[in-house]
Amino acid sequence: MTKMRLIMIIILLIAFSTLLVACGREITTFDECVEAGNPAMESYPRQCRSEDKVFIEEVAVRGVMEIAQASECVEKGDLTEEYTYNGETDTWWVNLDVKREFEKEDCDPVCIVDIEAGTAKINWGCKVI
C-alpha cells in the first residue's frame, strides 16, 4: 500500500467517525449546530438549521431585555422570549403579550428596542382593512 493511499484511508476513517459522533447526539444550541457541520446563515443574529430545528446565535439580548423591561412596553403587557433583529432599522423586536385592557383589534404588538439610543416603545402592528 502506498503512503498516499494510507493517508486517504486514515482521513476517510476520521471523517466517518466524526460523522457518527455528530449524528449520535442531539443538537440543542446554535454552537452545537455549527459544530455538527451545518452552515450558519448570514443573518443577524446568525441562524443554523439542523433538520427541522432552527437555532439562533445568542448576541446582546441581555441588554435588549433590560431596556425593554424599563420601558412603556411592560406597562401594557408581558415581554416574551421571542425576538428578532431588524437590520434595516438596527432595532430588536421583542414579542409582547398585551394585557387584556390594552388589546386593540387586528393588532399584533411588539416592543421595539433601540440599543444605541437605550429606548424602547410599542409598535402596535395593526392591520389595515
Do 82 and 104 sit in the same domain of this protein?
yes
The SS3 call for residue 78 is strand
- Mean of all residue pLDDT scores within the chain: 84
Summarize pLDDT for 46-56 with one digit per residue, the tens: 888 888 888 88
Domain membership flag for residue 92: yes
Q: To the nearest 10°, the Cα dihedral for 40, 45, 49, 54?
A: 170
Do 119 and 70 sit in the same domain of this protein?
yes
Q: What is the pTM of this model?
A: 0.55
Do 90 and 116 sit in the same domain of this protein?
yes
Do 75 and 105 sit in the same domain of this protein?
yes
Q: Where are the alpha helices (DSSP H) in the chain?
A: 3-24, 30-35, 61-69, 73-76
Length, in residues, of the chain: 129
Taking the alpha carbons of 100, 104, 109, 115 in that order, is the dihedral positive or negative? negative
**pLDDT over 70 percentage in the chain:** 87
Amino acid occupying residue 21: V
Residues 6+ apart with CB under 8 A from 60: 115
Identify whether the C-beta of residue 121 lies closer than 8 Å to the C-beta of residue 72.
Answer: yes
Do 66 and 99 sit in the same domain of this protein?
yes
Count: domains in the chain: 2
Domain extent, residue 66, equals 61-123
Summarize pLDDT for 86-97 with one digit per residue, the tens: 878 889 999 999
Domain membership flag for residue 37: yes
115 pLDDT band, cuts 50/70/90, is confident
Answer yes or no: is pLDDT of 68 > 80: yes
Do 118 and 66 sit in the same domain of this protein?
yes
Answer yes or no: is pLDDT of 123 > 80: yes
